[in-house]
Structure 1
Amino acid sequence: MNSRKVVYLFFTSLLIGSISGAIVGLALDWSVYTAEGAMNFLFGLIWLLGISAAFSIISQMGFFAYLTVHRLGLGLFKTAKLWNKVQVVVIAFVIFDLIYLRYLAFAQEGETVFHYVLMPVLLLIYGLIVAYFKAKDTNQGAFIPALFFIVVVTTIEWVPALTVNDPKWLWIYFAPLLAANTWQLLILHRLTGNQAK
């Protein structure tokens, strides 16, 4: 992978993350951004694009960190099969923690643990879909690493918003992370020309 491809990956991920975060931010607070005229909308849009760009850069750092961790995991566990089993266990722990720990930290009177199930389950389903397409484009060995990246790495990157637990910020932070992570994962093998990625 040459420097031109790295630059392409960086800027396309930045653009996709920025636009997706801005769209979600506008959708969540449309009346706020349109209430006081065109200048308010313009400055609000610029702010959303900027904050979403920052989140997409976090996504890119997570992506390259995962590529390093993946190689270390393959070396440490000697076989991809064993490393995949470890990743499946970590995925299960992360989904459980997204449900139960958020319930312990933020549950209000009358809420049950089931109020905290929807978001992690949707993330898992989305991860399964993305992993399916990654494996279809490359090979079956890419399925578990792709699922791990979408579920676990995205969750780690999402932690600052999760600790605040403000629904608006959960989604404004989550949209650029998920969009940029998906893009990076699905474009990498095309940039490197390596179907085994």
Structure 2
Amino acid sequence: MTSRNWVKLFMTTLLIGGLTTAIVGFIVRWNEFQPYFTEFRIIDILSTTIWLIVMGFLFSVISQMGFFAYLTVHRFGLGIFKSVSLWNAVQAVLILFALFDLVYLRYVNFAKTGDTILPYFLPAVILLLGGLIVAWFKLKQTNQSAFIPALFVMIVVTLVEWVPVLRVNEKSWLYLMMFALMACNAYQLLILHKLNSRSEQDRQKRVLQSGAANDIPKNKMNKKPSI
């Protein structure tokens, strides 16, 4: 990816994180922020919006760090297992473990006497459904081998990025960070192959302009994305 496209990805993801957090923040904490609107407290509304956007920027940076860390791990995984299908199978198993741990460990650590386990399924269900939708779109835009890696990012990588809030288990922060991370990770997944393709086209144009078109390997020009 060229530096120009990387900067574009960074800034756009930053904006998505800020806007998503601002919108979700007012929804999940409406009981707290409702007086600001009913009493027309403009200063409080603006300060709260700015605060939520800044928090969204932070969530976005965490998301981007996790996403690019996964891209490195993904390459190592392909190199170690020497097979896309085998590496995808390993990731599928890790996805199942991650969803189980999200439900079971939260229930064990935070459930009070008499609580049922059912409410603890909700974040896992949201994460799974969101991941399946994004992975399906990724499959349609690229190829079948990208489905499991996309699902892994949306579930496992999001969970790893989400750990600081999961430890606290404060409901409003739980959903605030979850939706911000999901939005940022989804955008990065769905735009990555397009930016890589655009970057490759930019390089080819520069090579053609310099008169060295034969230096571009054909297999590199026609390479399909693995994620």
Q: Which residue is 2:105 aligned to?
A: 101
Please report how far the alpha carbon of residue 33 of structure 1 lies from its aligned counterpart in structure 2 after TM superposition: 3.4
For 2:30 and 2:109, the matched residues in 1 are separated by 30
Further displaced range: 58-67 or 121-130? 121-130
What amino acid is the match of 1:25?
A: G
How many residue pairs end up in the alignment?
A: 197
State whether structure 2 residue 115 is matched by structure 1 residue 111.
Answer: yes
1:175 Cα shift? 1.8
1:3 is the counterpart of 2:36: no
| Runs of 4+ deviating beyond 4 Å | none
Counterpart pick for 1:39 among 40, 43, 52? 43
Report 1 or 2 for greater relative contact order, CA contacts < 8 Å, sequence distance ≥ 6: 1
**Deviation of 1:119 (Å):** 1.5
After TM superposition, the structure 1 = structure 2 runs for residues 82-161 of structure 1, keeping only pairs within 5 Å, are 82-161=86-165
Shift of 1:173: 1.2
Aligned to 1:73: 77
Q: Match for 1:187: what amino acid?
A: I
The structural deviation recorded for 1:73 is: 0.5
Give 1 or 2 for the bigger CA radius of gyration: 2
Normalised to the residue count of structure 2, the TM-score between the two structures is 0.84
Residue ranges of structure 2 left out of the alignment (5+ in a row): 198-222
TM-score (norm 1): 0.96
CA RMSD, 1 decimal: 1.2
Question: In structure 1, the residue corresponding to 2:191 is in which secondary structure?
Answer: helix
- Contact 1:55 1:173 (8 Å CA) reproduced: yes
Q: Distance in 2 between the 1:7 and 1:81 partners? A: 32
Residue 30 (structure 1) shift:
3.2
